[in-house]
Structure 1
């Protein structure tokens, strides 16, 4: 009897299961193709539900479709860590106790690793933190070009070179999205300065647009497969970039076949009809009604909310454009909130701290090291000087500000590593105690005069073996901070006087520059050692102490040209920054007169010697770059060309070198740069070890953007392959012929 009952039960369950499978909506059936599921869900949605999913419902979320089983979609700021939660409709902290994070190094430091493996590690680690926090999209990474060192947001980007940024952004995206968290690459496009960012109309040649400012975004789409792109605040061809026909419809969605979502920057939408027609998919905002002024919980007033619905109801628009936006949003849902295969995240783990430390160590750049003053001996008496030795750099700077579980400050890292460490303030810069509700830890108040602070540092410097000054910029307004640009290229807070005074009394002076930008160094000849320390997050003090002590051999390389003076930069030499205000309009036209000549391309063309060249970085060991061997002397447009370069560590310490390959077109129908980076590889070697590095290029490395045909073009002829360890340190050269 029991067996008959069991058999009958199994039959009934089988029948029920079959019936359920037959009536299960396609949009919930994971055996179906995602595009089929999207169309099924779209057909079931009401007009109100469609309108709802394309705009925000809170500071960082948009609604799903509860009736159909789609949960809310949650974004959060990056790109260096998961921002602490704020209230539903306010920028104030939500007061949670489980929304701390690990702060990873700023993206300038990541780019300075010149190691795509670090990008992959970065993306995976950040995504795991986002998963734990219930975030479906991280607003990053940023890949805008370092056009001027005054840009307050350069620290969030990946330097001046489009090829380097392209190679570094792809694995970041792939790592993040492998965990089921969407990347949202920003700020598309031409968002290269912060001052007047809502008003700047960029005037740039098509060639410069495609050769300099778009390649990293293109790589993010075509190779990285990013699920999100964020529009920029500025304008291009007199249209705001969050609804710009050329950038979004023509280039992004048509030319690049992008199938993800375009997200507005917060408050970056300005017109309903332009948003409908010109490629925007999801509208987000800050404390705004999406129009002109602030209003609480006014999300239904956004341009893509009730105003859009009203235009459809009045018959001025069909749902054709709306359905295409919703398709993209549903595709995003299936990739994130509806993805049952994504892992469970975890927060503030040792693996994440180790990742942050590893990335920081590989990105720190040894700029100068006369007489091998570094590394510092273990038994040395050390004086640490400077506010940046005791200031949290994870707090402030705009939307990338974080609430960290811990941040090891430089002074604490030095005291942990060395037995005798004294401290002098040296200068007072920013004594703000909190940002967006996050406190900075220790008090920074100090009412002593500048003269008193310098005098104290000088007296203490006389009594020690080494002085390490931690200076540079910080995350305050008009420094490295969203919303404003720097006012000048000089170090702030009287730091030059401090450095000059200390250098007079102690020749063993090491200057560590904490910043995301280059700065003037009028005292450089008097200071034997200089380190670029970036903003490197939770493990800052640990990483810097390990580099200064020699526990880790520095291997970072500059991702931008470090100018001696501001006018050595093309944007300033040609007086194109910050642009010219239109009469009686709230628009400022900024013409990129330097065209494709950004960074080292400009200094090469003008024969200007930089303070430190693009790609520059020293080591505690030495390397020999052997004679390269090419795979061929000539290629056709369908072939690739490879070169094998033997690299030997000729010193006594394990270390890494970055082999860089630049291309020079010897004769062309258009003006081309002296050289352009087209391949690189970081190689780690033990003392005495030799390894072969293989660099490969194809037709794309030989091409330029032809403005007449609007296509990439490579002209037959000779090209020089320039191989070295920095843009100003070329040690090997080969000639390659491209056959017609």
Structure 2
């Protein structure tokens, strides 16, 4: 241990106190030993430091900071160096705001397009997500502070996220859902990891010895700190045993007492606590060094320009019929759409950034060469239909040469804590587009949203630009693309299916009650579409340019692949070349091809460059469930260089010697997986894959409700009061949604309806304790008067204990317990 001498000076109580927060965002300090507290802040795409009235839901305004494009947007750049530079800027701002740990990036896989937090994640591909995250981590940590990769692991739905049990086979877990974290740890060298809310194969991730001890600490040699997601601790002692250093937010000392009691009664050894304290002290001491130096002021204009640069390289051109783009400066342009007036530029929830500036499309238009003849709103962003708005938009469109239409998803549709109900763009926007097409077919649509959507209108637009959620400078970046000042170079980091029913997880998303089964195995995203020959609207890795690129002269050896790229067009541009590998053996089921490398190349018109993409330790490996380790199958491998996952430009073969591991599967028992058509696997075949029975996926409605049951389950509670409360919550949500208070309605679903009862304690910062919760559960389970007596008794004890502590420490409480 690095701080053994210091730890020996600490009392058991002091060591335990470091294991949970001091308040909502800060760690505990020990003044007598010169151990300071450190500050953690949300920040996947911008610092969200709340100076007052802290919350984890994005309710209260934070200090101003640069709002960079979200991870879903940045991923489309396919540019590690750009991600590292953005991380560098994030790190500078974190230091300026005295933030020790920046809670990001988020690198969970996009298993389904409907996952509500997709805007905050990079990709459906673990290799791309891991590489981009590693670059961002290096940039953030170059300033001496810590990044915090999240959410570890297999956190792919928002509904019931704090209690859902994710059932996944070991091979899929390793190859798909842990690989990005592995890259972030080994290549990014992240100092901190955030555990996820959910359970994984029967154990909460924060307590899961397999991923926390065996893999994270054992295989990956991670020596940093694990912090819970806010309110994500279930059993604090079990979490400590798994190697969780920090529980957030504060529990006002309640869980510290649990740790002390567990050590005194021999449930866990004190050296486990010492190891966790040692790692936390290292994070404290190493990240506070930077604040001893004179901090520099941030040039907010420079950072705004950097946000624009990231957006410019991440925006994707999806369609350009008749070369309608770039826009001709002599054309009369009608600007239509609510998102042109009020941009959709970031997600919702804990990642909300209070921007330093916010470019507005209508203002930026005046600075461009575009001849705008006017603006019409066209539609209500929250879906309310209006014939008047459509008629006004059509009147303007008739006078224009080109219609520039800004459409997308609103802020309450894509939000932390809630999954989308479907992949559709609101119907009122589709009706507007249909009407515009009748009066002017020269439509360029600008799409703003954080994930894949269905695009039934694809044949009614000549141009389609996907801006994703492009940050505070997105409006100007979009116009730079539209006018040709910037040649688009973004490529999709996720597939766009034709319809939601085509997605591999369609039948198993989301898990509604106890568990969610990942029956599709490793066949997510393009791995499924390509292998099962399912058509998509736009494939993974797809994106157009205003120039053209030719690939030639492929050469493959044991170290990698070399080839030439030529800009065969008339303007300079950037091209993303993608390396895919496919094993030609049929002994072990695999996707048809998998991304194993990429590079982004800048080329002047007519220029040719020789490019090399090296192989690495992940190029040919697969996880063998019999040997329980990574193996290489001896076989011929198809080496492919493509402009997207469905556009292979160069191919060659290479034989690779294998490790000689035994075959892990019986082909006859897994027909869906060997065919790749794994979108509707039977429970029997899935159980064969995972090697055990799956748990019952529905709630046991005969048992009393407990700590990990949710408020939603009060619908069948024995207590009349609980059933009434459930109906009141449902009514409130429906009523608030109907009167337009959609954000508040969403908040009810996220922070009340799907919250497990223990969340009342874990998320209230010591206002309630577990004893009081026991009383509430008695009420819920039909023992109203006994429960109320217990609740009031525990409340009285808690207040007395708090007064005694205040007298002992000489402090006074600013807040009052319930």
The TM-score bracket by the shorter chain reads: 0.7 to 0.9
77-86 or 416-425: bigger deviation: 416-425
- Provide the rounded CA distance (Å) in 2 between the counterparts of 1:487 and 1:94: 23
- Provide the rounded CA distance (Å) in 1 between the counterparts of 2:211 and 2:60: 39
Match of 1:325, SS state, is: helix
500-509 or 213-222: bigger deviation: 500-509
Q: Which residue of 2 aligns with 1:12?
A: none
Q: Trace 1:154-233 onto structure 2 (pairs within 5 A).
A: 154-233=118-197
Structure 1 residues 86 and 243: CA distance shift in structure 2, 3 A: farther
Q: Which residue of 2 aligns with 1:560?
A: 494
- Provide the rounded CA distance (Å) in 2 between the counterparts of 1:485 and 1:605: 27
Q: Trace 1:191-340 onto structure 2 (pairs within 5 A).
A: 191-285=155-249, 298-301=251-254, 303=255, 305-338=256-289
Shift of 1:316: 4.2
The Cα offsets for residues 475-503 of structure 1, whole Å up to 9 and x where unpaired, read as 21xx2210000011110252111111112
Q: Is the 8 A contact 2:236 2:259 kept in 1?
A: yes
Q: Is the 8 A contact 1:412 1:541 kept in 2?
A: no
Q: Give the one of 533, 538, 549 matched to 1:623.
A: 549
Unaligned runs of 5+ in 2: 659-818
> Aligned residues, how many?
657
Q: Which residue of 1 aligns with 2:519?
A: 593
Q: Is the 8 A contact 1:130 1:345 kept in 2?
A: no
275-284 or 588-597: bigger deviation: 275-284
- Provide the rounded CA distance (Å) in 2 between the counterparts of 1:551 and 1:463: 26
Structure 1 residues 63 and 393: CA distance shift in structure 2, 3 A: farther
- Provide the rounded CA distance (Å) in 2 between the counterparts of 1:395 and 1:372: 30
Q: Is the 8 A contact 1:86 1:94 kept in 2?
A: no
Shift of 1:419: 4.0
Q: Which residue of 2 aligns with 1:406?
A: 357
Structure 1 residues 263 and 677: CA distance shift in structure 2, 3 A: same
Q: RMSD of the alignment, in Å?
A: 2.0
- Say whether 1:465 aligns with 2:401: yes
Q: Give the one of 458, 467, 490 matched to 1:533.
A: 467
Q: Which residue of 2 aligns with 1:604?
A: 530
Structure 1 residues 374 and 596: CA distance shift in structure 2, 3 A: same
Q: Is the 8 A contact 1:383 1:466 kept in 2?
A: yes
Q: Which residue of 2 aligns with 1:728?
A: 646
Match of 1:537, SS state, is: coil
Q: Which residue of 1 aligns with 2:674?
A: none
Shift of 1:321: 1.8
Shift of 1:699: 5.0
- Provide the rounded CA distance (Å) in 1 between the counterparts of 2:517 and 2:152: 18
Structure 1 residues 399 and 90: CA distance shift in structure 2, 3 A: closer
Structure 1 residues 708 and 578: CA distance shift in structure 2, 3 A: same
Structure 1 residues 343 and 672: CA distance shift in structure 2, 3 A: farther
- Provide the rounded CA distance (Å) in 2 between the counterparts of 1:415 and 1:217: 44
The Cα offsets for residues 576-623 of structure 1, whole Å up to 9 and x where unpaired, read as 111353xxxxxx211111100010011012211110000000000111
- Say whether 1:717 aligns with 2:635: yes
Shift of 1:237: 1.5
TM-score (norm 2): 0.78
Shift of 1:42: 1.4
Q: Which residue of 2 aligns with 1:47?
A: 12
- Provide the rounded CA distance (Å) in 1 between the counterparts of 2:30 and 2:595: 47
Q: Is the 8 A contact 1:128 1:344 kept in 2?
A: no
Match of 2:426, SS state, is: coil
Match of 2:582, SS state, is: strand
Q: Is the 8 A contact 1:70 1:338 kept in 2?
A: no
Match of 1:55, SS state, is: coil
Structure 1 residues 412 and 273: CA distance shift in structure 2, 3 A: same
Match of 1:679, SS state, is: strand
- Provide the rounded CA distance (Å) in 1 between the counterparts of 2:464 and 2:345: 23
Q: Give the one of 342, 355, 359 matched to 1:391.
A: 342
480-489 or 44-53: bigger deviation: 44-53
Q: Which residue of 1 aligns with 2:105?
A: 141
Q: Trace 1:351-430 onto structure 2 (pairs within 5 A).
A: 351-393=302-344, 397-417=348-368, 418-430=370-382
- Provide the rounded CA distance (Å) in 2 between the counterparts of 1:647 and 1:342: 46
- Provide the rounded CA distance (Å) in 2 between the counterparts of 1:238 and 1:158: 27
- Provide the rounded CA distance (Å) in 1 between the counterparts of 2:55 and 2:469: 28
Structure 1 residues 243 and 420: CA distance shift in structure 2, 3 A: same
Shift of 1:86: 4.3
The Cα offsets for residues 56-99 of structure 1, whole Å up to 9 and x where unpaired, read as 11111112322222221100001010114142666799999x92
Structure 1 residues 93 and 723: CA distance shift in structure 2, 3 A: closer
Shift of 1:455: 1.2
Shift of 1:314: 4.6
- Say whether 1:111 aligns with 2:75: yes
Shift of 1:421: 4.5
